[in-house]
A and B are shown apart, each in its own frame.
Chain A
Amino acid sequence: MSTSTAALLAGLVLLFPLAGSALCGLLGPVLGRRFVNLAGTLSIGAAFAVTLVIFVLVLGAASGHQSVTATLWNWLNLGGGNLNVSVDVTIDQLSVLMLLVITGVGLLIHVYSVGYMEHDDGVARFFSYMNFFIFSMALLVLAANLVILIIGWAAVALSSYLLIGFWYERESAVLAARKAFITQVIGDVALVIAAFLIFVNLKNAASVCTPTPSTTCSIQLALSQNLHTLSLPQIFANAISLGRGSPLITLICILLAVAAFAKSAQFPLHTWLPDAMEGPTPVSALIHAATMVTAGVYLIARFHALFDLAPIASGMVACVGMGTALMAGFIALSQVDIKRVIAYSTMSQIGLMIFAVGIGAYAAGMYQFLLHAFFKALLFLAAGNVIHAVHDEQDIREMGGLDSRMRITAWSFLVGSLALAGFLFAGMFSKEDLLGFGLINGPGSPALYIVGIAVNVLTGLYAFRLYGRVFRGEPQSDAARNAHEARAVMLWPVVILAGLSAVAGWALQWPVSFGPHLINAFLNPVFTSAGSGPIAKEPGTGLGLIGFFIGLICSLIGIGLALRIWVRRDLNPAPALARPGLRLLPRLSFRKLYFDELYDALLVRPTRALARGLRRVGDPVMDSWIKGLSDVATDFSAAFRSAQTGLIRDYASYMVLFVLIFTIAVMVAAGIAK
C-alpha cells in the first residue's frame, strides 16, 4: 500500500465519523430523529467499509511491507523547523485490528442505539457525541506522532465525559462524568510527561544485528545529537538509545503505564469505571467495554519497543494487571446492579490484557482484546435489553425468570457468559492463551499464573451468578413478570455479537500447538522490530498444554459453583461465609474494597480543607486590596461629581474662568514669542 493510499484511507476513516458528528450535532435538532439515526449510523458504516478495505490491503501486502506511515498534512511548523508537527498516521496490523473493532463493534452499537434512544429527546446530541468518540478513538489508534496520540487520548477522555454525563439533569451522572474525567487527566499528565522525557532524551541509535527470538544483540550505540522527534516509528526504531533497563526508560514506561491504567481503569485509578455506568447502556458497551478502556492496552502494545527494554516496568504492569483482575473479580461477586457487575467484569478482563502485554505476550493480549470486545459488548447490549424490558430497573434482585420471556436475549447472554467465563467460546481461547504465556515466561510466572487461574474461578462464578439471577429462577417483581422481548433493531446487534463470540475463538487462534494461529501470524510482525527484545515464547506444547487444561478446569469449577448456588439453588454459601474469618469478605466485596472512601479521605477532604483555609486567609486580603482600589476610584470621582450642580450658571462660570485664563495665556505666549 502506498503512502498516498494510506493517507487517503486513513483520512476517510477519520473524516466520516467526524462529519457524522458535526451533521448530527448541528443539523440534527433541525432535521429530526430519522435523519440523526441515518447519519449517525451511516457515517460509522462508511468508516467500517473503509476499514475493511484497509484490512484487505494490509492482509494482501507483502510481508515486511505491511506497515505504512503517511502524513495527512503538516499542521504546525514553528521556530524554523524546531517544532514540526504533522498529522501522521500509521497503518499496520495493530492499528487495523483496533480500527476493525472500533468501527465494526461501533457500528453494531450505533444500530442498537437507534432503538435504545428512540424515546430520548437528546438523540441528536447522543449520536454526535458517539460519532465524535469513534473519531477520537480512530485518531488515537492511527496516530504516528506523539502529539496526535496525545490529542486523540484527550479527545477520547472528553467524549467519555460527554457521554457519561449525557443525562446531565441527573446529578449522579454529572458527578460520575467528572470523576471519570479527573481520573483520566492524571493519566493524561503522565502521558505528556512521558512524551516530554522521550522527546528530550531520544538519541540516534545504529544497531549491528537484527534480534531474533533466540539470540540477543550487542547493540552499538552511535550516539549522535539528540533526535528531537515526535514521530512514533522513529522513536521505536531508536528506543535502544534510552538505555536497556536504565532508570530513564523505566521511568518513561512507568509513566506510560500510569496513563494506561487511568484509561483502562486499573488499580489504583479504577474508581471511575463503575460510576461511569450512569451513562446510557450503548455508551457503556462501546466505551467502557470494547474500546476506550482498551486504549491503555493499545498504548502499551504500541510502545512495546520501550517496554521490552524496561523489564521492571513491564513486570509492574503485569502485576498490576493481574492484581486488578483478581480484585475486580472479587468485587463483582457481590454487586447487585447488573451494569456494575459487567463493569467490574470488564475491569477484570482488561486486567488480564494488561497482564499479557506486561509480560510481553502482545499478540495474546490483543487477541483477548478482540474477543473481549465481542462478548463484553454483547453482555452490555443484552443487559440494555433487559433493563428496557423491566422498565429501567437495574437491580438484579428485582429480576429473574427472564429466559422464558426474552428468549433470544437470554440465549445470547448465555453465549456471552460462557465466552466470558472461558468455556466453549471466546474466552477459552484468549484467556488460556495469555495465561499460558504467564505460566511459561512471565516474571514471577508461577505466582501470577496461579492468581490467573483464581481469576478464572471468580469469573465463572460471577458470570453465572449474573446469568442465574437475571434469567433463571422466579421473577422477583412485577416488572420482571411482565417483561417481553426487545425490538428487532435492538436484537440484531446482540445476535450478531453472540455469533461472533461463539465462532471467533474457534476460527482465529487456538492456545495449543494444533489448530489455527491466525492472530499470531497477523500481529507478530508488528511486535518484532529491529532494536526490540526477543518476543515471548509461544506456548502450545508440554507445560503449555497442561496449563491450558488447568485453567479450563478452574473456569468450569467457577461455572459449576455458580450454577449450583444460583440456578439449581441447592447450595447456599451463606452459612460458610458467616464464619468469623470469612464474615468480612462479603462486605469488603460489596463496598468495592473501600477505595472510594479511601480516596475521599486521602485526597478529597484534605484538598477541600486546604481550599477552605486558603479562602479564609486570602479572601480578606484580596477583598481589601481590590476594594481599596475601587474605593479610590469612587472617592476620586465623587470629588469631581460635586462640580456637577446642574446650575447653568455654574457651568457658565467655569467656561468664563477658563476663557479668561486661556486668553491671558495666549497673550503672554504670543508676547513672549514676539
Chain B
Amino acid sequence: MLSQAMFPWILLTAGFLFTLGALGVLIRRNPLVVFMCIELMLNAVNLALVGYSSFLSSEEGQVFAFMVIVVAAAEVVVGLGLLTRVFSIGRELDVDDLDEMKR
C-alpha cells in the first residue's frame, strides 16, 4: 500500500525534474540536448498528472498524460526533422548561432 505521505515527494520530484529541464534549456547550446531537456519537462508534467490521478482517484489525469505523450511524440518528429534540415544545409548545431528570429 502506498501511503498519502508519499504524495508530496512525487510532486517534488515532478517539480525538480521540470526545473532541471528548464535549467538545461537555459545553459546547453546543443539543440539536441535542449530538445531532450524539453522532453524531460514533459515527463515531469506527466509524473505530476499521474500522481494526481492516483491520489484524487480520477482517471482524467491519466487521459491527459496520454495526450501529452502523443503530442510529445509528434513534436519530437517535427523538431528532429527541422534539426536534420538545419544540419544538412551546413549550419552549426548551436542555438547561439541560429539567431535569425530577432529585430
Residues on A lying within 8 angstroms of B by beta carbon are 641, 644-649, 652-653, 656, 659
Contacts and interface: CB of A to CB of B under 8 A. Distances in A.
A645 B99 contact: yes
A641 B95 contact: no
Contacts of B102: 644-646
B99 A652 contact: no
A445 to B, nearest CB: 87
Contact of A646 (B22, B25, B27, B101): B101
Given A647-B99, A653-B26, 10 more contacts: A644-B102, A646-B99, A646-B100, A648-B25, A648-B98, A649-B27, A652-B22, A656-B25, A656-B26, A659-B22
Return the 7 tightest CB-CB contacts between A and B, nearest first: A646-B102, A646-B99, A641-B103, A644-B102, A644-B103, A652-B25, A648-B95
Interface in B62-81: none
A647 B25 CA distance: 12
**Interface of A (DSSP majority class):** helix
B40 interface: no
B96 interface: yes
A652 B96 contact: no
Nearest to B97: A647
Interface residues of B, number: 14
Contacts of B101: 646
Contact of B25 (A644, A645, A649): A649
A641 B102 CA distance: 9
A644 B100 CA distance: 10
B3 to A, nearest CB: 24
Chain A CB within 10 Å, residue with most, of B34, B98, B101, B103: B103
Contacts of A645: 99, 102
Contact of B22 (A641, A644, A648, A656): A656
Contacts of A652: 22, 25-26
Nearest to B29: A649
Chain B CB within 10 Å, residue with most, of A641, A645, A647: A647
Contacts of B26: 649, 652-653, 656
A613 to B, nearest CB: 44
Contacts of A644: 102-103
Contacts of B100: 646
Interface string B82-102: 000000000000011011111
Contacts of B95: 647-649
B8 to A, nearest CB: 14
Nearest to A656: B22
30 contacts: A641-B103, A644-B102, A644-B103, A645-B99, A645-B102, A646-B99, A646-B100, A646-B101, A646-B102, A647-B95, A647-B96, A647-B99, A648-B25, A648-B34, A648-B95, A648-B98, A649-B25, A649-B26, A649-B27, A649-B29, A649-B95, A649-B96, A652-B22, A652-B25, A652-B26, A653-B26, A656-B22, A656-B25, A656-B26, A659-B22
Contacts of A649: 25-27, 29, 95-96
Contacts of A647: 95-96, 99
A19 B99 CA distance: 65
B37 to A, nearest CB: 10
Chain A CB within 10 Å, residue with most, of B98, B100, B101: B101
Nearest to A638: B103
A22 B34 CA distance: 70
Nearest to B31: A648
Nearest to B27: A649
A121 B20 CA distance: 80
B79 to A, nearest CB: 12
A649 B29 CA distance: 8
A647 B29 CA distance: 10
A649 B99 CA distance: 10
Contacts of B27: 649
A656 to B, nearest CB: 5
A152 B15 CA distance: 81
A641 B22 CA distance: 25
B42 to A, nearest CB: 15
A652 B96 CA distance: 13
Contacts of B22: 652, 656, 659
B88 to A, nearest CB: 20
A627 to B, nearest CB: 22
Nearest to B37: A652
Nearest to A637: B103
Chain A CB within 10 Å, residue with most, of B25, B27, B34, B98: B25
Contacts of B34: 648
Nearest to A659: B22
Contacts of B98: 648
Nearest to B15: A663
A646 to B, nearest CB: 3
A92 B10 CA distance: 101
B91 to A, nearest CB: 14
A649 B33 CA distance: 13
A646 B100 CA distance: 6
B1 to A, nearest CB: 30
A315 to B, nearest CB: 78
Nearest to A641: B103
Nearest to B25: A652
A459 B27 CA distance: 102
A482 to B, nearest CB: 75
B75 to A, nearest CB: 15
Interface string B1-39: 000000000000000000000100111010000100000
Contacts of A659: 22
A653 B25 CA distance: 9
B94 to A, nearest CB: 10
A647 B101 CA distance: 8
B39 to A, nearest CB: 15
Nearest to B18: A659
Interface in B41-55: none
A445 B85 CA distance: 103
Nearest to A652: B25
A209 to B, nearest CB: 90
A640 to B, nearest CB: 9
Nearest to A651: B101
A480 B101 CA distance: 78
B49 to A, nearest CB: 18
Contacts of A641: 103
Contacts of A653: 26
A649 B28 CA distance: 8
A277 B25 CA distance: 82
A119 B101 CA distance: 62
A634 to B, nearest CB: 13
B35 to A, nearest CB: 11
